[in-house]
Structure 1
Amino acid sequence: MDERQPLLPISSSHSNIVNNSNENNGNYKAKRFWAAIIVGIVCICIVNLIFLPRTSLGRDLRRIHGAKLPVSEVKRIFLNSLDTENHAREWLKQYTYEPHLAGDGYDLVEFTEQKFKEFGLKTEIETFYIWLNRPVDAHLKLLDKDSNVIYNPNLQEDKLPEDETSMLNNSVPIFHGYSANGNVTGKFTFANYGSKSDFEILEKSGVNVHGTICIMRYEKIFRGLKVKHAQQNGCIGAILYSDPYDDGEITVKNGYESYPNGPARNPSSVQRGSVEYFTDYPGDPTTIGHGSTKNCKRNSPKDYIPNIPSIPVSYRTIEPILAELNGIGPDLNWIGNLENFTYTPGPSKLELNLFNLQEYNITPIYNVMGKIDGILPEEQIIIGNHRDSWTFGAGDPNSGSATLLEVARAYGDLIKQGFKPLRTIVFASWDGEEYSMLGSTEFGETHSKFLQKKTLAYLNLDVSVTGTHFSAQANPLLEKSIHDVASKVPFEGATLFDYWHKQDNATIDFPGSGTDFAVFQNHLGIPIVNMGFDANGKTDPVYHYHSNYDSFKWMDTFADPDYKRHNCMAKFLGLLGLSLSEREVCFVSPEDYSTRIKEYYESFYKEIPTRWFNYYIDSAYLKYNRRNIIKQLQKLDEDTSPKFNSLLILFEINMNKLIETSKNYDSYIKDLQTQVEQDYPWFKFFNKLVLLIRIKLANLKLSHLDRMFLDNEALENRTWMKHTIFAPHRDLGYTGDVLPGLHEAIMRNDFNDAVKWLDILISKFQSVIKKLS
C-alpha cells in the first residue's frame, strides 16, 4: 500500500494557481501604476526645472528676504507718494511755532519721534550732555571824550505785527554761541570781513588794531574765524553785523521795501551764531574725541573758543557808531551799503563799552533716530537734518526738518506695501547743530567703530529751501549718484538736473564744514552729500539768516509759498537714499574721486615756491616708507640725495596711477552691476554664488575706500581732522580744502611739512592702488 499523501484535487490546485497569478498580477499593476506616477512627477519636475523662469541675483536677494517690491516699483511708489501729497507746510508750521535753541523744545523731540513711529520706523532718542551757554545780558555804549554815554542802542530786533512769531515774549536775545564773558572799553576799528588778508592789509597800512574793539561785517568767512583773527591781532572785543551790500541786488538802496513789506533785509535783523572754532574741532569743546555722556571726562575748552567778548548787532544799530570812523585812517577801497559810513578803518577818537554776560552749564540735548532694517544689516545709509535753531528756524534748519519728514512719510508708504530696503536706512534728527554740530559730532565720536564698519554714506540736509539756487557739496565718490538721481527728479517742466545744469553746469563743490556732515567726512572717513536751495543774491528775497525773521511767515510769503522746492528736495533726497540703498554694487565712483583730487592739486600747484624745486629733502620727514621712497627718488633723480622736485614727480606719478587704477575699477564694478541685473537659469546657481561673493568683496573695498585716506598724523593744530584729502579750509571755515595738509604747508611756506605731506599722500595713494588692483 502506497503511504504517500494523496495528490490534491485538480480543481483545488488550479484554483490556487489562479489566485496566485491574480495576486501577482495585481501587485505588478500597482507597481506599474506607482512607477508611472513617479516617472510622471520626475518628468514634470525636469520639465519645470528646464523651463523655470530665469531670475537675477538682485531679485533673488529680495525674494528670499521677503521684500515684495522690485526696485523700479519702489522708486515709482515713492515719487507717486510725494506727487499726490505734500505735507511740508504742515510740518514746517509745527517746527516753527516757537524758538527752540539746542536742548530746548522737547515737544519737538516727541513730535519727531511720534512721526517716525507713525511712518513705520524703529525709533530711539539718544541723549548727550553738552557744555554750552545761554545769554544773560549785553550792551553796547558809545562814550564821549569824558566817558559820558552818548549812544546806548536797544540790541533786540523789532517786533513786527505782520509776523506773529516776532511778537512773542520768549524770543531769543541776540548773542553768540560759545562767546566769552567780558566788560571792555576802548577805541574801535573797522576790519571789513575780518579775514586774515583784511588784518594783513590793516597792518601794512599802518592801522594798529591792538587794544581796540574790532567791528567786522558778516560773510566771506566763518564768524568764529573773524573773532579768532581779531583776538590774534590783539583786539579786546569783537562786534559783527550784516551789511546790506552783501545781500546782492535786493536792497532798500535799490528800491526794494524791507521785510515784512518787501523782500529786502529788515534793518533790525541780527545774525546770531556760534563762534567756536569748528574749523579745528566741532562738537562739545570739553570732550574732544569722545562722546559727551553724562559722567564723561571733560577738559578745558580754552583752545577752541574765543577769550574776547563778542556780540552780533544789526546794521541799523552799528551805523551811528561806524560813522564816527569817517575820514579816519587810510582809504582801503572797502565798500558797502551803509549811507553814513565811508568804510575807513580808524582807530576811533571816541570809545566803546562792550558788555557780554553768558551763563555756561551742562545741558542735555536729544537726537531722535529712526531706522528701517535692511536685508544687509552690515551696510547702512544715514539721512540727517538738525532740529535746533537760533530762533524759529523756518529756513535753517526746519525747511530741512519738514523735508526729512516728507521723505520718511513716503518711505512709510513703501513699508506698508512690503518694502524692505537692501541696506538699512537710518533717519537722524540732530540736536545742537547751531552751537557747533553737537548732536551729530557726539553721536559720531560715541559710535565711531560701528559707523566706520557699517555706514556707506551720510546724506545731510541743513537749509533745504531759502531761495531758488540749487547747490550741492559732496565727496566725489558720490558725484555720479547725485547727477544720476537729479536727472530722474521732475522739476520746473524738466528735471532737477536740467535746472541745475542750466544754472551752473550742475557743479558739485567739495565738502567743508559748518553742518552735521563734519564728523562723518572729516573725522570718520564716511562719504557725504549736502544739498539745498539757497538765495541767489539777484532775484530771491533776502534770507534773514539766524534772525527772528527766519520765520514761517517769511517762508510762507516770500521764499517758497507753494512749497514746490520743499517737495523737489524730498524727491531728490529720498531717491538718492533709495539709489544708494538699493543698488547691489555700491553706487560710488573711485575714478571721480581720484580725478577731482588731481584737478584741485593742479589749481594750487602754482602756489608752490619755485625755489623749493631744487631743495634737497631731509629724509627724517619721510616717515611712512622711507627706504622705498628714497629708492624710487634716487631712480628719478640719479642722485643719492633726492630733491623736492623728484618727490613732487613721484607724487604725480602715483596720483596718475591712482586715476588709471580707479578708472579700471569703475569699469569692473559697472560690469558687476550688469551681471547682478542679468537673468540666469536655476542650474547656474553656482554662478550667482560666485557673483555674490565678488559683489561682497567689491562693496567692502568701496565702502571703506574713503577710510583709507584717514591718518592719525592729522593737520597742524587740528588733530581731530583725520582726513588727508578733505578738510574745512583753515582760513575760510565753511569752504572745503583738498589735500589740506600739503596745501596748508605751501600757504605757510613750510618746506619740511610739505615734504612730510607728500610722503603721507604717496603712501595713501599706493595703498589704495594696491587695494583696487
Structure 2
Amino acid sequence: MLHRPVTRLFTIALGCVALLGSGRFFPAAGVATPTRFPAASLSPLESQLLSVPDSARARQTLRALTAKPHLAGTPEDYATALYVRDELAKAGFQSELVEYDVYLPRPKSRRVEMTAPTKYRCRLTEPTLPDDPDSASPLAVPTFAAWSPSAKVEAPVVYANYGLPRDYAVLDQLGVSVRGKIVLVRYGECYRGVKAQVAQARGAAGLLVYSDPKDDGYVQGKTYPDGPWRTDNCVQRGSYRAFTQSPGDPLTPGRPSKKGVPRLSPKAAGLPQIPIQPLSYRDALPILESLQGPVAPKEWIGGLPIEYRIGDGATRARMVLEMDYRQRTIWNVIGTLPGHVLPDEWILLGNHRDAWVYGAVDPSSGTTAMLEVARAFGELRKTGWQPQRTIKLCSWDAEEYGLIGSTEWVEEHLGELREKAVCYLNVDSAVSGDNFRASAVPSLWEIAKSVLRDTPDSSGTRSLYDNWRAQDKNATEVRFGKLGSGSDYAPFLQLAGIACLDMASTGSYGVYHSTYDSFRWMEKFGDPLFTRHTAMARGWALLAFRLSESARIELNLLDYAREIERLAQALAQEHPKLDAAALLDAARDLATAAEAFETEADTKATLAARNRQRRQFEGFLLTPDGLPKRLDARHVIYAPGVFTGYGAEVFSGIRYALERDDAEDIVHATTQVVAALKQAAQALHGEK
C-alpha cells in the first residue's frame, strides 16, 4: 500500500516579478527542487500570470470539491456551485448562479440476476476500500445507466463484443439473432449510448454493459488501490442517450429549460426504450462463463480467464429496474471579467462541475485548474490590469447526463454568442497523468502551439509543447485531435459555430465514472505533487490572456481553409465513386479567399470589421437544418460520428450517407458542405 509522498513546499512571492520578467520562470509551490524554464518570450505580465497557479492550493481545492459525491441536481452539487461562485468572486470576477429546470433520472432499485443454467445475483455495488475512506460514502449514487427506462425483462443472453454494427454483422453471419434477448457487451470503442441505440434498433429486450479487464483492468496493469486501473468490482456509470438526438434537456430541444417553457412529453423525447444496466467484470464473469454456443471471434476475446462464447439460448438473465424521473434544478456558474476596450468580444473558458460520484479526475481536476486560472487573473487585476476583451469562466452542471448545463446556456444566449464569442476553450478531465494532448479547430492551432511552447509542463524543465511532441518520437510537429463530442465544447461548436479547443493531461485512468475516481486516487496516481494541475492552469490562462490582449483576433483562417482543402482531397481519394468535383472546387476557392484575406494587412480602419470576420468564420461552417438524419450536429466539417459518439468524423454527413449507400443523402450532405464553404469564402471576400 503506497503512502502520500512527503513534499517540501515553498511559495513564490509576486515580488519576484522582476526576475520572472527577465526570461526565467520558477514553478509554483509543490516542486521539491526548483528548476528553471526558459521563457524569454514571456512579457512581464505573462510571467506574473504564470507565477500564480499554486500546487498546494490546487490540492486544497480538489479536496474541497471532492469532499462529497455531487451528482447533478443534488444538494451537494449545489454546494459546489456556491463554492465555485464564491471563489470566482474572490478573484474579482462578476459571478452569478444560473438555474435551469431539467428532466433527470435517478435509480430507485436495480436487480440483475442469471436465472439459468445456474442462479447468480449481480452485486451491482462498489465495496469500500480500506485504503480509500471516501469509498464508504452513503451519498454515492448506485451504479446505474442514466436514461434507462424502468422495466422488467427476462430473456436469453447473447454476447455481442462492443455492441457496434460490425459486431451484429458477425452475429448475422453466425445465424444468431438478438431480437427479444438481453445483449451483453463490453465498454470501449464507442460512446456507450451507441451501444444502446444499436441494440434497441436490433430488437434486443435489454442491454448489460460491463468493463472487461482487457480494456481498463488488470490486463493493463495493477488495479486500484495498488495501481490506477479498474478493479473487479468497479463500475462505469454514464449516460446512454443517443448523440444523434438533440443535446441538452430532452424535453426542451432548442430552447432553454426555464420555468414556463413548453416541454415535450417524455415519450416524444427519443430516450432509450430498453432497460440498461452497467456491470463490473466480477458480476459479468459468471454470465459470460456460462455462455455456450459458437466460440467468439478472436477480436471479441477479452481478458477474463474463460472461453468467450456467443450463447445458445441456455443462459438466461432477468433485469428489474425502477427509475425516478423528474424535473430537477441544476446550477451553472458564470464568472465574468469585463473587457475594458472590447467588452463585446468574449473569450470563454469552460469546465463542468457535476460528477457521477466524486469525480476527482472527471471533472474536478478541470474545475481546480479553472479556479487557479481565475486566481491568476485576479492577481493581475491587483496591479491595475484589465483584459482588452471580456473573459468568461463557465462552470457547467449536468454535463454527465448529456451536456445539459452548457447546452441550455448556449440555447439561451445563442444570438449573443454568435455575435460576440471569439472562442471557447474547454478543459474537462484536466489531469489523469502527465501526457499532454489537445484537440482544436484549425484556426486555433497556431496560437495554441505558440502558448504551449511558452508554458512549462509539470517538470518545469520542458514546455507542454515538448511534453506533447515527446509522446511520438517520430513526430516533428504535434498533431491536434479533431473535436467530436462528449464534453461541453460540443454545443459551442455544433449549435453556435464558435472556434473551440479542448485539452487535458492524460495517463493510466481505470476508475472513470466510478466511486474510486476519488481524491485518494488522484494523490496516489494522477498527480501526487499537484504540479500537473498547475501546468494545465498556466497553459489555459496564457492562451486566454493572449487571445484577450492581441489587437488582431488570433484565429488563423488560412490554416483552417488549407486543412479543409486537404480533408476534401482525402475524402475524394478514399471514395473515388463520390462526385466530389463541386466539393473540391469549393474547398479550393475557400483556400484562395483565405490566403487573400490573411495576406491583406489589418489597418486601424479595417481591424474591427476583419476581426468580426475572424470570429464569425466558424459559424459559416454550420448548416441550419442539421446533417442528414441527425439532430445533434450542424457542423459540416467536424461532427461526432454516428457510431463513435465521442470520436470526431470529418464530413460526417457525407460519410454516414455513404455508409448507408443513400444516394439522396449523399447529394444532400455534399450540397450542404459546398454551400457552407461558398458562404465562408464569400464572407472573407466581404460579400453578403
Structure ranking higher in helix proportion: 1
Asked whether the equivalents of residues 247 and 404 of structure 2 are also in contact (C-alpha less than 8 Å), the reply is yes
Shift of 1:126: 0.5
* 1: CA distance, partners of 2:571 / 2:181: 36
Say whether 1:467 aligns with 2:421: no
Looking at structure 1, the residues matched to 576 and 663 of structure 2 have their Cα atoms a distance apart, in angstroms, of 9
8 Å CA contact 1:180–1:309 kept in 2: the answer is yes
Match of 2:103 among 131, 144, 151: 131
> What SS does structure 1 have at the residue aligned with 2:494?
helix
Of stretches 88-97 and 272-281 in structure 1, the one that deviates more from structure 2 is 272-281
Where does residue 356 of structure 1 map in the other structure?
A: 321
Q: How does 1:340-739 map to 2 (within 5 A)?
A: 340-374=305-339, 375-491=341-457, 492=459, 493-504=461-472, 505=475, 506-535=478-507, 540=508, 542-608=509-575, 610=577, 644=579, 648-668=580-600, 671-672=601-602, 691-739=603-651
User: In 1, distance between residues paired with 2:230 and 2:192?
Assistant: 19
Query: Which of structures 1 and 2 has the bigger CA Rg?
Result: 1
Aligned to 1:317: 283
Q: Which residue pairs with 2:156 in the alignment? A: 187
Deviation at 1:758, TM superposition (A): 2.7
Matched, 1:334 2:299: yes
Displacement of 1:602: 3.4
* Cα pair distance change 1:85/1:503, threshold 3 Å: closer
Structure 1 Cα separation of the partners of residues 679 and 131 of structure 2? 61
**In the aligned structure 2, how far is the partner of 1:406 from the partner of 1:280?**
35
Paired residue secondary structure (2:371): helix
One-letter code aligned to 1:369 = I
Distance across 2 between alignment mates of 1:598 and 1:333: 39
Q: Which amino acid aligns with 1:350?
A: T
Partner Cα separation in structure 1 for residue 504 and residue 244 of structure 2: 22
CA contact (8 A) 1:86 1:406 kept: no
Residues of 1 paired with 2:562 and 2:307: CA distance? Answer: 46
2: CA distance between counterparts of 1:763 and 1:275?
34
CA offsets 1:514-535 (integer angstroms, 9 cap, x no match): 1111110011101111110122
Once the two structures are overlaid, the 10-residue window that deviates more, 704-713 or 129-138, is 704-713
Match of 1:462, SS state, is coil
Residue 81 of structure 1 is matched in structure 2 by 52
Partner SS state of residue 383, structure 1: strand
The Cα of 1:208 is off from its aligned counterpart by 1.2
**What is the distance in 1 between the residues matched to 2:301 and 2:247?**
32
For residues 403-450 of structure 1, the C-alpha deviation after alignment (integer angstroms, 9 at most, x for no partner) is 000000111001111111111000111110000011000000011111
Q: Distance in 2 between matches of 1:407 and 1:606?
A: 44
TM-score of the superposed pair, with normalisation by structure 1: 0.80
Q: Is the aligned partner of 1:144 residue 2:116?
A: yes
Choose the corresponding residue for 2:91, options 97, 114, 119: 119
1:488-545 deviation line (CA, Å, top 9, x unaligned) = 101231211111112134211111001111110011101111110122xxxx3x4300
Once superposed, what is the RMSD of the aligned Cα atoms? 1.8
Aligned counterparts of 2:399 and 2:635: Cα–Cα separation in 1: 21
- Structure 2: how far apart are the matches of 1:548 and 1:440? 24
Q: For residues 727 and 288 of structure 1, what CA distance do their matches in structure 2 show?
A: 18
Aligned-partner residue type, residue 529 of structure 2: D
> Does 2:170 match 1:201?
yes
- C-alpha distance in 2, partners of 1:694/1:704? 16
Contact 1:460–1:530 (8 Å) recurs in 2: yes
Residues of 1 paired with 2:540 and 2:246: CA distance? 28
Of the three residues 252, 256, 260, the one matched with 1:287 is 252
Per-residue CA distance 1:615-648 (angstroms, 9 max, x = gap): xxxxxxxxxxxxxxxxxxxxxxxxxxxxx4xxx2
The letter for the 1-side match of 2:593 is T
Letter in 2 for 1:441: T
1:168 alignment partner, one of 124, 130, 137? 137
Letter in structure 1 aligned against 2:584: E
- Check 1:730–1:289 CA distance in 2 against 1; reply closer, same or farther (3 A cut): same
- 1:41-52 map, 5 Å: none
Counterparts of 1:455 and 1:169 in 2: how far apart (Å)? Answer: 42
Q: Matched residue of 2:350: which SS?
A: strand
Distance of aligned partners of 1:752 and 1:161 in 2 relative to their CA distance in 1, 3 Å threshold = same
How far residue 79 of structure 1 moved from its aligned partner, in angstroms, is: 0.9
Contact 2:243/2:632 (8 A) holds in 1 = no
Structure 1 residues 566-603: Cα deviation after superposition (integer angstroms, max 9, x where no partner) = 11100111111111111111101112212222333334
Alpha-carbon distance in 2 for matches of 1:252, 1:177? 27
| CA offsets 1:97-143 (integer angstroms, 9 cap, x no match) | 11000112222111111101110000110000000111101011111
Please say which of residues 101-110 and 308-317 is displaced more in the overlay.
101-110
Distance 1:598 1:403 in 2: 36
Unaligned runs of 5+ in 1: 1-69, 613-643, 673-690
Aligned length: 635
Aligned-pair identity (%): 34
- Measure, in 1, the Cα distance between the counterparts of 2:73 and 2:469: 40
